[in-house]
């Protein structure tokens, strides 16, 4: 009909002029017919404010107006308009037909195959995007008003247009919507993954997941899981990293089809195992545990690791509560090691806890209890070590780090016999380690303090052994530290040097008297010391307090030798007479008395022995002849004869070598002859 063609032509003219009022009137007449809508889509100026087309989203009002009256009101006496529509009906019909053809041709492939209030808007967005590709979101104000019931349009906007707008903006591109729709998925992924732009994984996923949802195909999701959801794309070293990954995981989990869920879970386990960092914060670990809680326990990571969410969660809980500086890969590797290697690792971890936590030992004991409480051995990290092995390693770590106060907690009644034996063995080993490395035997030196604490622990933990020898060894070490002691000019005497004298403890006395001449008369001191040394070296008790004993005779003979070395003839003579009186000079000790009989002091006048001393020496040798070994009598007799000859050669009446003549200069000997 002529009037229909006239109104159509007017709608086209008013659309080019963006005349909202008149086109709105015409929309009531055409009730959003396809020809009318297409004309508006194509002819309305692309750069005009999109909100001017809002009326097309509204329900058309029922307006009862005669078509001819409508034409007249729209023409409103406009001569230009009249000249375009007030023509021969055939001409008007041809113009209308040609215009429709041009509009349809212009729309081309943009025509949609679904109807709805928002259908025209999709076409308008596509049409304008062809001319203005740099502004993908140009019609955002208008589509925001579109009815939410139009799910197809909403899907197109949310999962295609909006993500493309973000892609173009972030990557400085001008990809058209129509081009984006025709791109291969791999090409889309490459565009989003452009390494030349600073885009986070979260931003990339936010752009990519809507696209996958829009395409909604198994093949494209498989491609995404193979190419994108992989270990090389993620780092889980901080709470921010974990939060981002958690968001991505839940988005992927909620997007893929059911058939691919297990693949998502497996890939997630792979990523968490491979990329979780060292020293994760508690917040980060909590985030990872939240992700793992969404993964079914029957799903395992890829071979050869093949680890499930339950085991990974166990590892993370251990990291959070006990081993904050490690990571899940280290823990998993430990769980696969042999018993000996696990023991080394456990020792290292115990040591780390000792130095980093004030409650390190309590923390590790709790860890041991927790490990043993897991009925599934697969969930134990140190699965080759039983509870006693772990406790012994922990005990040793305390010793190694000198945490003796902490060791008190190990002396509990619930310990098994084997564990108590193990602890005692370790304590003894460390006692000797500290003792043998000690530089000073002083009880206040670091090494001896440690040894003393260990002895107390040994005594507290044993009812059958007193460890008196170790206690006495420390006493002896402290006593010896008060004296000048050295094995030689360049070899100092350390506490461990005592152990070298186990076969002959008297050599220590010999060494003390050699380095400390002032002690050559202190038999009481050395007698007490030799008794202590016997106990310290775990030898049978010394009988030195018995003056009839061989030990006592040897001690006195050593003092006699050192008295002579210090030119103290008086003390040497007194002790020699004491031995002779008791008849204790048999065996090797006769030599000490014999040396007294031969003694000459280079400080005596003219290097001559005072006459009274010669008589004393002859008397001493006479007694020695009765007690010395038979095969030594000749030597003693010869020395006695030499003394006799020397006395015979002197003028005893006017003896210049007598003590009286020397004005009692050697009155020190007066007591010998009184």
Answer with the one of 282, 317, 336 that is the final residue of a domain: 336
Using one digit for the tens of pLDDT, what is the confidence trace for 563-573? 999 999 999 99
What integer pLDDT is reported at residue 584 of this predicted model? 65
Task: Identify the band that residue 668 occupies on the pLDDT scale cut at 50, 70 and 90.
Answer: very low
Mean pLDDT, rounded, for 502-526? 94
The answer as to whether 662 is a domain residue is yes
Mean pLDDT, rounded, for 386-395? 86
Mean pLDDT, rounded, for 606-610? 88
| DSSP assignments along 413-424, one per residue | TTS-HHHHHHHH
Mean pLDDT, rounded, for 524-549? 89
Answer with the one of 278, 301, 336 that is the final residue of a domain: 336
* 3-state secondary structure (DSSP) of residue 249: helix
* 3-state secondary structure (DSSP) of residue 409: helix
| DSSP assignments along 160-202, one per residue | IIHHHHHHHHHHT----HHHHHHS-HHHHHHHHT-TTS---HH
Main-chain dihedrals φ then ψ at residue 300, nearest 5 degrees: -120, 155
Mean pLDDT, rounded, for 95-100? 92
Q: Is the pLDDT of residue 317 over 70?
A: yes
The answer as to whether 300 is a domain residue is yes
What integer pLDDT is reported at residue 28 of this predicted model? 85
What CA–CA distance (Å, rounded) separates 443 from 476? 10
State yes or no: cis peptide before 304, omega within 30 of 0.
Answer: yes
Q: What dihedral angle (degrees, nearest 10) is formed by the CA atoms of 165, 171, 173, 178?
A: -40
Mean pLDDT, rounded, for 484-502? 87
What integer pLDDT is reported at residue 674 of this predicted model? 42
Task: Identify the band that residue 656 occupies on the pLDDT scale cut at 50, 70 and 90.
Answer: confident
Mean pLDDT, rounded, for 2-24? 90
Mean pLDDT, rounded, for 286-297? 96
Q: Is the pLDDT of residue 79 over 80?
A: no
Main-chain dihedrals φ then ψ at residue 523, nearest 5 degrees: -65, -35
487 or 159: which leads in pLDDT: 159
What integer pLDDT is reported at residue 585 of this predicted model? 58
What integer pLDDT is reported at residue 415 of this predicted model? 63
How many domains would you assign to the chain? 2
What CA–CA distance (Å, rounded) separates 562 from 128? 119
| DSSP assignments along 61-106, one per residue | P-----HHHHHHHHHTT-HHHHHHHSS-HHHHHHHHHHHHHHHHHH
What integer pLDDT is reported at residue 355 of this predicted model? 75
Beta strands in 224-318 (DSSP E): none
C-beta separation of 139 from 125 below 8 A: yes
Domain that holds residue 604: 571-674
What CA–CA distance (Å, rounded) separates 354 from 408? 15
Q: Is the pLDDT of residue 613 over 60?
A: yes
Count CA within 13 A, CB hemisphere, residue 519. 21
What CA–CA distance (Å, rounded) separates 582 from 560? 16
What integer pLDDT is reported at residue 300 of this predicted model? 94
What integer pLDDT is reported at residue 395 of this predicted model? 82
* 3-state secondary structure (DSSP) of residue 440: coil
The pLDDT mean for the chain works out to: 87
What CA–CA distance (Å, rounded) separates 639 from 499? 40
What integer pLDDT is reported at residue 671 of this predicted model? 46
What integer pLDDT is reported at residue 124 of this predicted model? 92
Mean pLDDT, rounded, for 531-552? 87
What integer pLDDT is reported at residue 673 of this predicted model? 47
The answer as to whether 293 is a domain residue is yes
Question: Running DSSP on this structure, what letter comes out for residue 487?
Answer: E
What CA–CA distance (Å, rounded) separates 504 from 498? 10
653 or 38: which leads in pLDDT: 38
Looking up tokens 């390693």 gives 393
What integer pLDDT is reported at residue 194 of this predicted model? 80
C-beta separation of 137 from 128 below 8 A: no
Give the closest residue to 614 by CA, choosing from 589, 650, 654, 668: 650
Give the closest residue to 424 by CA, choosing from 383, 386, 459: 459
What integer pLDDT is reported at residue 63 of this predicted model? 61
Task: Identify the band that residue 31 occupies on the pLDDT scale cut at 50, 70 and 90.
Answer: confident
What CA–CA distance (Å, rounded) separates 99 from 263? 55
Looking up tokens 């885009």 gives 199
What integer pLDDT is reported at residue 205 of this predicted model? 87
pTM of the model: 0.66
627 or 615: which leads in pLDDT: 615
Which residues lie closer than 8 Å to 674 by C-beta, 6 or more apart?
A: none
Using one digit for the tens of pLDDT, what is the confidence trace for 152-207? 888 999 999 999 999 999 888 999 999 999 999 999 999 988 877 777 888 888 88
User: What Å distances lie between residue 528 and 506, 533, 558, CA to CA?
Assistant: 12, 9, 15
**Geometric angle at alpha carbon 173, from 168 and 178, rounded to 5°:** 75
Which tokens hold the place of 500?
């070298």
The answer as to whether 27 is a domain residue is no
Question: Running DSSP on this structure, what letter comes out for residue 402?
Answer: T
Mean pLDDT, rounded, for 247-265? 90
Main-chain dihedrals φ then ψ at residue 487, nearest 5 degrees: -75, -30
Q: Is the pLDDT of residue 68 over 60?
A: yes
Q: Is the pLDDT of residue 60 over 50?
A: yes
Count CA within 13 A, CB hemisphere, residue 605. 13
C-beta separation of 103 from 38 below 8 A: yes
355 or 306: which leads in pLDDT: 306
The answer as to whether 650 is a domain residue is yes
Looking up tokens 């004298």 gives 501
Which tokens hold the place of 672?
């010998």
What CA–CA distance (Å, rounded) separates 217 from 208? 14
What integer pLDDT is reported at residue 115 of this predicted model? 59
Answer with the one of 310, 336, 362 that is the final residue of a domain: 336
What CA–CA distance (Å, rounded) separates 467 from 458? 7
Using one digit for the tens of pLDDT, what is the confidence trace for 321-343? 888 888 999 999 999 999 999 99
What's the Rg (C-alpha) of the chain?
Answer: 55
The answer as to whether 248 is a domain residue is yes
Give exposure, 607-639, as e/b (b: 16+ Cβ within 10 Å): eebbbbbbebbbbbbebbeebbeeeeeebbeeb
The answer as to whether 669 is a domain residue is yes
* 3-state secondary structure (DSSP) of residue 141: helix
478 or 392: which leads in pLDDT: 478
What integer pLDDT is reported at residue 543 of this predicted model? 81
The answer as to whether 112 is a domain residue is no
Q: How far is CA 602 from the centre of its chain?
A: 73
Which run of H or of E encompasses 283? helix 282-292
What integer pLDDT is reported at residue 534 of this predicted model? 94
What CA–CA distance (Å, rounded) separates 250 from 204? 15
Question: Running DSSP on this structure, what letter comes out for residue 234?
Answer: -
């Amino acid at each position: 009909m002529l009037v229909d063609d006239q109104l159509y032509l007017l709608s086209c003219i008013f659309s080019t002029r963006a005349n909202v009022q008149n086109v709105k009137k015409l929309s009531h007449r055409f009730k959003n017919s396809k020809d009318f809508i297409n004309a508006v889509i194509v002819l309305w100026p692309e750069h005009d404010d999109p909100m001017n087309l809002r009326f097309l989203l509204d329900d058309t009002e029922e307006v009862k107006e005669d078509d001819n009256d409508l034409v007249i009101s729209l023409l409103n006496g406009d001569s230009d308009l009249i000249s375009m529509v007030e023509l021969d009906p055939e001409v008007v019909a041809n113009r209308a037909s040609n215009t429709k053809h041009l509009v349809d041709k212009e729309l081309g492939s943009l025509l949609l195959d679904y109807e709805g209030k928002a259908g025209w808007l999709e076409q308008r967005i596509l049409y304008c995007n062809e001319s203005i590709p740099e502004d993908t979101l140009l019609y955002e104000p208008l589509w925001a008003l579109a009815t939410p019931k139009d799910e197809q349009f909403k899907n197109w906007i949310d999962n295609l247009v909006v993500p493309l707008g973000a892609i173009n903006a972030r990557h400085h591109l001008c990809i058209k919507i129509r081009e984006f729709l025709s791109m291969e998925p791999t090409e889309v992924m490459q565009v989003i993954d452009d390494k030349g732009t600073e885009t986070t994984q979260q931003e990339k996923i936010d752009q990519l997941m809507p696209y996958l949802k829009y395409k909604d195909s198994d093949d494209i999701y498989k491609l995404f899981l193979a190419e994108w959801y992989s270990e090389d794309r993620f780092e889980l070293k901080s709470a921010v990293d974990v939060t981002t990954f958690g968001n991505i995981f839940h988005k992927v989990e909620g997007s893929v089809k059911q058939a691919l869920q297990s693949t998502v879970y497996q890939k997630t386990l792979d990523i968490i195992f491979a990329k979780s960092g060292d020293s994760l914060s508690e917040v980060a670990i909590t985030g990872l545990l939240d992700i793992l809680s969404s993964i079914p326990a029957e799903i395992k990571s890829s071979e050869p690791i093949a680890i499930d969410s339950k085991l990974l969660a166990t590892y993370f809980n251990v990291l959070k509560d006990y081993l904050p500086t490690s990571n899940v890969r280290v823990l998993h590797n430990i769980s696969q090691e042999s018993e000996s290697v696990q023991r080394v690792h456990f020792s290292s971890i115990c040591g780390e806890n000792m130095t980093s936590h004030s409650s390190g030992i309590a923390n590790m004991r709790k860890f041991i209890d927790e490990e043993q409480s897991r009925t599934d051995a697969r969930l134990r990290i140190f699965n080759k070590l039983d509870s006693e092995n772990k406790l012994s390693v922990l005990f040793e770590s305390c010793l190694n780090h000198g945490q003796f106060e902490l060791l008190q907690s190990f002396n509990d009644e619930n310990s098994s016999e084997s564990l108590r034996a193990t602890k005692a063995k370790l304590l003894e080993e460390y006692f000797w380690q500290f003792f043998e490395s000690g530089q000073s035997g002083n009880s206040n030196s670091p090494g001896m303090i440690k040894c003393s604490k260990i002895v107390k622990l040994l005594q507290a933990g044993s009812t059958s052994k007193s460890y008196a020898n170790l206690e006495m060894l420390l006493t002896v070490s402290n006593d010896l530290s008060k004296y000048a002691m050295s094995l030689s000019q360049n070899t100092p005497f350390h506490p461990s040097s005592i152990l070298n004298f186990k076969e002959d403890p008297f050599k220590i006395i010999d060494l003390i008297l050699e380095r400390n001449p002032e002690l050559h008369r202190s038999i009481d001191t050395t007698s007490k010391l030799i008794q202590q040394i016997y106990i310290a070296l775990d030898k049978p008790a010394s009988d030195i307090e018995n003056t009839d004993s061989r030990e006592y005779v040897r001690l006195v003979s050593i003092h006699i030798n050192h008295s002579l070395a210090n030119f103290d003839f008086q003390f040497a003579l007194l002790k020699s007479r004491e031995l002779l009186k008791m008849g204790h000079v048999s065996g090797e000790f006769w030599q000490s008395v014999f040396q007294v009989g031969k003694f000459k002091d280079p400080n005596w006048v003219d290097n001559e022995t005072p006459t009274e001393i010669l008589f004393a020496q002859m008397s001493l040798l006479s007694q020695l002849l009765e007690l010395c070994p038979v095969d030594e009598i000749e030597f003693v007799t010869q020395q006695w004869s030499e003394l006799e000859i020397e006395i015979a050669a002197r003028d005893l009446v006017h003896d210049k070598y007598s003590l009286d003549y020397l004005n009692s200069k050697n009155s020190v000997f007066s007591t010998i002859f009184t």
